[in-house]
Structure 1
Amino acid sequence: MRFSVCAAFAGLLAGLALPALALPVFAADPEVLRQKVQAIADAYVRDTAPGERATGISVSVSLPGGAMVNLGAGKVSTAADAAPITPETLYQIGSVSKSFTAAALLQLQAEGKVDLDDTLGKWTPEYPAWKDVTIRRLLNMTSGIMGYDNAPAMAETFQKLGMGRHFSPAVLVGFVDPTYPGAPEATEGYDYSNTNYILAGMVIERAGGMTVQETFQTRFFGDRYGLTDSHYVEGVFPKDVTDRMASGYFVAAAMPELKAFETDDIKLADMSWAGAAGGIVSSPAQVNLWVRALFAGDVLDAAGKAELTDVVSMKTGKTIGRASADDPHGFGLGVSGFSSAMGDGWTYEGESMGFRVLYAYLPDKDLVATIALNSGAEGEADHANTVLVEILKAAME
């Protein structure tokens, strides 16, 4: 997908469907697990990262009882004097950000400020073609609205103006607004679209009276959930953040027209192009804290969690409630559910042009694992799912 901040579910789920480790017996000593995971991370840096243009990996595993294993391998960039990757190294987390956007709207609904069954005609009347689309259909990817990152005009804009181009949400949405000539046709059923979450960000601002940045900072970042090193701006991140980020490297195999960007450091890009669809910067340990808070903590009340995890089939777009062996890939509200031989749970791979962050949460085993890589490899070139499955297996041996 163009300029993807989407989830690459299929590869991870195929990995999770490998012959099951019957019932988990977690490593009694986190240091034993640390050694196993460090070996996996080192092997990735040695054998796989060069083919993906990545220079390192950060890993966080959150075990039952609260123990955490956090580590890094490799360097933050290709520079000869580059610093080592550490657990505190920051990355663009891409579409993992969508769960924050969905959670904000669910909180606003609980406060009576919005209803997920409200239509865009109420909140964004400037888009009459979508007046009957509900907020819920934005969040579960059944809106029929094409992703702006798939619009040729978006690629052309980047070609002309580079990664420093600043986009307003209205400009992003305008790339696919059928009011304008040349806009892509509507989609059917389930279809992943970043435009949905830019529109959702607009609703957050109008219903809540704060910007998306203020909303994330007020509701989620800070001490309450431990998210003291998670950041969001619709623009260029400040130096005190980018200095602690790994450099991000673009892989142009799927988009040869943007090959010139392979020389750029994506961490310095203007992230307004991702916005509420994928603009957060964080670390794997922070993502693990968020995943636990979202699914098992008090980010949402019981009703909100039920709505968050009520999935549609990624094959048909129909509501199926939960993923199952017959239909193992489901999409909720900014989260993706799976059913596999290893267990049922939640997963997401957030991608930006220079980063990949992938988590898996197995509730029945009380296990969360997140990895972060500093390149934008996609498709068959993306081996993040394989690495994460190896880490999950190590945690369950």
Structure 2
Amino acid sequence: MSRAERRHRRYRKACVGLATAGLLALPATGALARPPQPAPRPTASAEPSPAAGFPTLDDATAAKLDRAVQDVLRKTGVPGVVVGISAPGKGTYTRAFGVADKATKQPMATDVYSRIGSETKTFTVTALLQLAQQGKVDLDDSIGTYVKGVPNGDKVTLRELAGMRSGLLSYTATETFYKALTTDPTRHFTPRELLDYAFKAPKPEILAPNTRFNYSNTNLILLGLVVEKQSGLPLPAYIRDHILRPAGMNRTSFPDDASFPTPHAQGYTRQTASARTQNATDWNPSWGWAAGAMISDLHDLRIWAKTLATGVFPDGTRMVVPDLQKQRLDTRPTGIPGADYGLGIFDVQGWIGHNGSLPGYESLTVYLPGQQATLVVLLNTDIPYGPRQEEPSTVFGQALTGILTPDHVYNLPAAVQKDMTPSPTG
């Protein structure tokens, strides 16, 4: 019997056991204990009465949300923003504010395509989980089984890579990568080139595996290579065929160059050699690949918010089987109370999903299971706000959820997101 067949048999036995005994969350096994929480937080495993405790999105609520968004827009200097909110029986809120182009003053629109940065990670990890349920990988396999030349490759597991606990340096935090990107942001990077920036650094292993949370884009490049090797498909093709099409997400893509469907907003950044604001719309996102190269829009991200959090496609079929979805949502501490991380997914005060940031654009797509509520935010800048250098998507998320769900305010700190985007300091 082959290794893959033995693994598949073990997986099928585990599924049978779980079906008879009930689904159990796996215990956290890291060195850090979960910080005390003020109240139980909702999980995607339960579906109480739709939108309980969520306000009706009527004219009065819309007026409050409008004022909050406009206030954040003014104080952060964000050029434009798209916001989408929905919950069963409560209506929808869909708005665009500001401008899509600072030069022409073209208004922002709700149908723009946008680069979604690190939200790409949620698709890559979903692909990994699907391969796990097929018996083609085991989450507790070492990365060295699939990719050679990884520091600590015989100790770091696929689960630790997906959970941001590998201890590997993020290539985006190295000075050599930052210089290469800002010198020629239109160049194409291969996955192996990206790994070289991390692995050839003086300290490619900054922590022992599974020591603590450490956000690293290197992890997702490695997982993308695993998906390609074990599926036999290029990563963009696998995600298109096995995730996007079954989800009905026809406006989401994974380009291998700087192509950008229209309409799209112009994106503004200070991730430049001069630290001056620059238009990054046509920068090549290949440097993000499995960690951050995808494009989507408000319509599709509304679909993805619930699909990701529940593991179920809109037609009711399973995207990820219950046991593996349970493991995905078994979040562990990031070091900041109220902000935990599972397998390629954040849980911030009960809001489940991910944000994204790369030069010129930011996004936020989250789902609150208890209320079955969806929040999507798209911005055309990644320029940090204020003395704490906050992600502007977080500032919008905090303002909106402060109105919608005051007991669950999305407030992901910038410190948790270190190494999401290129940095001039390694």
TM-score (normalised: structure 1): 0.80
Q: Which structure ranks higher in relative contact order (CA pairs < 8 Å, sequence separation ≥ 6)?
A: 1
Residue pair 2:83, 2:378 contacting (<8 A) in 1 also: yes
Listed as ranges, the matches of 1:98-117 within 5 Å are 98-117=121-140
Structure 2 gap segments, 5+ residues each: 1-37, 39-50, 313-317, 407-426
The two structures, once aligned, show a CA RMSD in angstroms of: 2.6
Give the Cα separation in 2 of the matches to 1:171 and 1:345. 35
Give the Cα separation in 2 of the matches to 1:83 and 1:181. 43
Give the Cα separation in 2 of the matches to 1:288 and 1:85. 18
Listed as ranges, the matches of 1:156-305 within 5 Å are 156-160=179-183, 162-177=184-199, 180=200, 182-188=202-208, 189-222=212-245, 224-238=246-260, 241=261, 243-252=262-271, 257-259=273-275, 262-263=277-278, 265-296=279-310, 297=312, 298-305=318-325
Corresponding residue of 1:320: none
Please tell me whether residue 372 in structure 1 is matched to residue 378 in structure 2. yes
Q: Across the two proteins, how many residue pairs are aligned to each other? A: 347
Q: Return the offset for 1:130.
A: 1.8
Residue pair 2:174, 2:201 contacting (<8 A) in 1 also: no
Corresponding residue of 1:56: 80
- Provide closer, same or farther for how the CA distance between residues 181 and 195 of structure 1 changes in structure 2, counting only shifts above 3 A: closer
Residue pair 1:92, 1:267 contacting (<8 A) in 2 also: no
Secondary structure in structure 2 of the residue aligned to 1:75: strand
Secondary structure in structure 1 of the residue aligned to 2:238: helix
Residue pair 1:232, 1:280 contacting (<8 A) in 2 also: yes
Give the Cα separation in 2 of the matches to 1:313 and 1:369. 23
Residue pair 1:338, 1:346 contacting (<8 A) in 2 also: yes
Give the Cα separation in 2 of the matches to 1:387 and 1:65. 24
Residue pair 2:54, 2:90 contacting (<8 A) in 1 also: no
Residue pair 2:53, 2:371 contacting (<8 A) in 1 also: no
Give the Cα separation in 2 of the matches to 1:220 and 1:390. 31
Tell me which amino acid in the other structure corresponds to 1:62.
S
Tell me which amino acid in the other structure corresponds to 2:340.
G
Give the Cα separation in 2 of the matches to 1:214 and 1:187. 33
Residue pair 1:121, 1:127 contacting (<8 A) in 2 also: yes
Give the Cα separation in 2 of the matches to 1:69 and 1:352. 26
Residue pair 1:59, 1:72 contacting (<8 A) in 2 also: yes
Give the Cα separation in 2 of the matches to 1:327 and 1:395. 21
2:342 to 313, 317, 332: 332
Tell me which amino acid in the other structure corresponds to 1:368.
T
Tell me which amino acid in the other structure corresponds to 2:67.
A
Q: Return the offset for 1:389.
A: 2.7
- Provide closer, same or farther for how the CA distance between residues 117 and 88 of structure 1 changes in structure 2, counting only shifts above 3 A: same
Tell me which amino acid in the other structure corresponds to 2:268.
Y
TM-score (normalised: structure 2): 0.75
Secondary structure in structure 2 of the residue aligned to 1:182: coil
Residue pair 2:72, 2:395 contacting (<8 A) in 1 also: no
Tell me which amino acid in the other structure corresponds to 1:247.
Q
Secondary structure in structure 2 of the residue aligned to 1:91: strand
Q: Return the offset for 1:396.
A: 4.9
User: Identity rate of aligned residues, in percent?
Assistant: 23
Name the structure with the higher helix share. 1
Corresponding residue of 2:102: 78
Q: Return the offset for 1:234.
A: 2.7
Give the Cα separation in 1 of the matches to 2:348 and 2:164. 16
